[in-house]
Structure 1
Amino acid sequence: MSDQSPIDPDNLDHFFTSDADSAIKGDDEQNNVPTTALQQDKPRHLALFSRIPVTLTLEVASVEISLAELINVGGDSVIELDKLAGEPLDVKVNGVLFGSAEVVVVNDKYALRLIDFNNQQLAELVQ
């Protein structure tokens, strides 16, 4: 059995922060494991998360309106959103902003082409 503390599935936010490298290290840093050993363990640590399902959402745009305005929306209503046409769209993972993308069509289905990641360390992990 491992000496490492169990992973709390309800508290994974720190794995998606800009300090992703230290999150991957976990308790190893406190146990004074050499950096080279930590680097070798990265694939093993990442493998722990490979089967966790996440929801990937492409958000076109949004707007905040009052409930009164929403109640008055009819079939011919037009609601102006906060993005310009042609602007990159927000990619969210489990509701957290992950990067931006553009919509493309692949085999008659919508797809997205990632333009950039908000977290460079996470981007480096997937390359």
Structure 2
Amino acid sequence: MSQDNPGFDTLLDELPPHLADEDLPLAEAPVAAPRPRRDFAQMLRKIPVTLTLEVGSADITLDQVMALQHDSVVELDAVAGTPLVIKVNGTPIGRAEVVVAGENYGLRVIELADLDLLSIDAPN
């Protein structure tokens, strides 16, 4: 008798003899067709990321933030005219300069880290 669930044993004892037969053949589960293995590098290429161009930053107090007004100026740690940091999902990957692309701002890549994502192997 089961210590965990004595009611289960009672249910088994009440089964009709033709259902309690342990020699009944088990139904074979349908076997799914093997899926073709996808190219891991190709899958990586489709992951959406956010590309940002960081002008600079400043460490200020919350009090200084609360004092900001319409014409306030906050000095950043970047020197004017130096290349800006390109980030992908917050991770620096290179440097660029701002350009005008149509009616929008764009960036011209000046320096790029060696991003060899294609050499990454799929996990086993």
In 2, the alpha carbon distance for the partners of 1:89 and 1:67 equals 26
Q: 2:96 aligns with which of 88, 95, 101?
A: 101
Runs of 5+ consecutive residues of structure 1 not aligned to the other structure = 5-43
Aligned-residue CA RMSD (Å) = 2.2
TM-score, normalised to structure 1, is: 0.57
- State the Cα distance separating 1:123 from its structure 2 match: 5.8
Report if the CA contact (8 A) 1:100-1:116 is conserved. yes
Within 5 Å, give how 1:111-126 maps onto structure 2.
111-118=106-113, 120=114, 122=115
Aligned residues between the structures: 83
Report if the CA contact (8 A) 2:93-2:112 is conserved. yes
Q: 2:63 aligns with which of 53, 65, 68?
A: 68
Residue 109 of structure 1 aligns to which amino acid in structure 2? N
* Identity score, percent: 46
In 2, the alpha carbon distance for the partners of 1:106 and 1:67 equals 36
In 2, the alpha carbon distance for the partners of 1:115 and 1:82 equals 20
Runs of 5+ consecutive residues of structure 2 not aligned to the other structure = 1-33, 119-124
In 1, the alpha carbon distance for the partners of 2:97 and 2:71 equals 28
Is residue 77 from structure 1 mapped to residue 60 from structure 2 by the alignment? no
User: Which residue of structure 2 lines up, in the alignment, with residue 45 of structure 1?
Assistant: 40
In 2, the alpha carbon distance for the partners of 1:101 and 1:80 equals 20
TM-score, normalised to structure 2, is: 0.58
